[in-house]
Amino acid sequence: MVYVANEARYEDMRYNRCGNSGLKLPAISLGLWQNFGGIDTYENGREMITRAFDLGITHFDLANNYGPPAGSAEELFGKVLASDMAPYRDEVVISTKAGYNMWPGPYGEWGSRKYMLASLDQSLKRLGIDYVDIYYSHRPDPETPLEETMQALDHAVRSGKALYIGLSNYTAEQTLEAVRILNSLGTSLLIHQPSYSMLDRWIEGSLQGVLEQSGVGSIAFKPLAQGLLTNKYLNGIPEGSRAAKPSAALNESRITPDVKRKIHALNQLAVSRGQSLAQLALAWTLRDGKITSALIGASRISQIEENIAALQHLEFSQAESDRIETILQTENGTG
């Protein structure tokens, strides 16, 4: 069946201007970090991508190493773009990144000019497109001069292979220096992608101050704390869940009694607001306009639908804000 996009797709989504740029991003963006790789079902990935677009999500976030295996998420999205969404290419923002290990040898990761530009060419081939809308340095390289990495990103824009530049996982100090270098080159930094959630608030004050001062937008990854800020772990660790795997970034050791106390208290507040815990967490992430977009993952369509419904109730009373701060005040939980 030929895919035809929902004519009402822009009616309910909120779009926020990204820093001082002319680009607007949806308040909720879809990340393809997991569940869109070569080990996953293509049809499920296709249905999630097209349903997200039907609901007004115009930004799809990828990286060269997303899968598994690495590169396969870009390949899957490229197939969906070619088979279903080619007529809508100019309505979507496609981002990708480079920084983590992709191929053997000394040129297959980090931030050298050789790696950054070779990786972009590989990503464009997998995606089947001539340019990406946003190209990120996925992580700072401790050995490559920052000037070299920023010059590579600047070249990506000047060559027409990317429209905008982004950073991810950079500290406030590194970001400020990157902004200075990019401004001297004549290509502005569009966006920063940090981890941020109720349980991981490291960007407040420092990085957020730099972004506001520099006119740079932000998109928060892990706003649901890898599933902790959903209903999934309210009654223990489900069999087969991410936390049930000892080697996973989120595992049983990180779900401490303090974290359990916090998520139960936050869930009670969410219920009183007529929201799920995930919806509360997303609304909180977007609460003060400092975050341009919250980046969600999904394994099924219902999760996307639930998360977008958070936009129906973004406001917090002073009493609710105070209650959240009280819940989160004791020892920091897990990001």
Inform me whether the pLDDT recorded for 77 exceeds 60. yes
Question: For residue 23, which amino acid is it?
Answer: L
What percent of the chain has pLDDT above 70? Answer: 93
By C-alpha distance, which of 69, 65, 61 is closest to 109?
65
Query: Minimum mean pLDDT among 89-103, 181-195, 248-262: which range?
Result: 248-262
Paired with 17 in beta bridges are: 24
Paired with 166 in beta bridges are: 136, 191
Residue 85 is classified by DSSP as I
Inform me whether the pLDDT recorded for 245 exceeds 70. no
Neighbours of 154 (CB within 10 A): 18
Structure confidence by residue, pLDDT tens digits, 133-144: 999 999 999 999
Q: Which pLDDT score is estimated for 333?
A: 39
Q: Which pLDDT score is estimated for 242?
A: 57
Quick one: pLDDT band at residue 315, thresholds 50, 70, 90? very high
Question: Which 3 state secondary structure label does DSSP give 197?
Answer: strand
Q: Is the separation of the CB atoms in 45 and 38 below 8 Å?
A: no
For residue 26, is the peptide bond before it cis, meaning its omega torsion is within 30 degrees of 0?
no
Non-local CB neighbours of 200 within 8 Å, separated by 6+ positions: 222, 225, 334, 335
Q: Is the separation of the CB atoms in 334 and 200 below 8 Å?
A: yes
Structure confidence by residue, pLDDT tens digits, 142-175: 999 999 999 999 999 999 999 999 999 999 999 9
Question: For residue 132, which amino acid is it?
Answer: V
Inform me whether the pLDDT recorded for 33 exceeds 80. yes
Inform me whether the pLDDT recorded for 99 exceeds 60. yes
For residue 69, is the peptide bond before it cis, meaning its omega torsion is within 30 degrees of 0?
yes
Spatial distance between the Cα atoms of 255 and 238, rounded to a whole number of angstroms: 13
Q: Is the separation of the CB atoms in 63 and 138 below 8 Å?
A: yes
**Domains along the sequence of the chain with CATH:** 15-226+287-312 (3.20.20.100)
Inform me whether the pLDDT recorded for 248 exceeds 60. no
Q: Is the separation of the CB atoms in 19 and 164 below 8 Å?
A: no
* Mean pLDDT along residues 271-285: 98
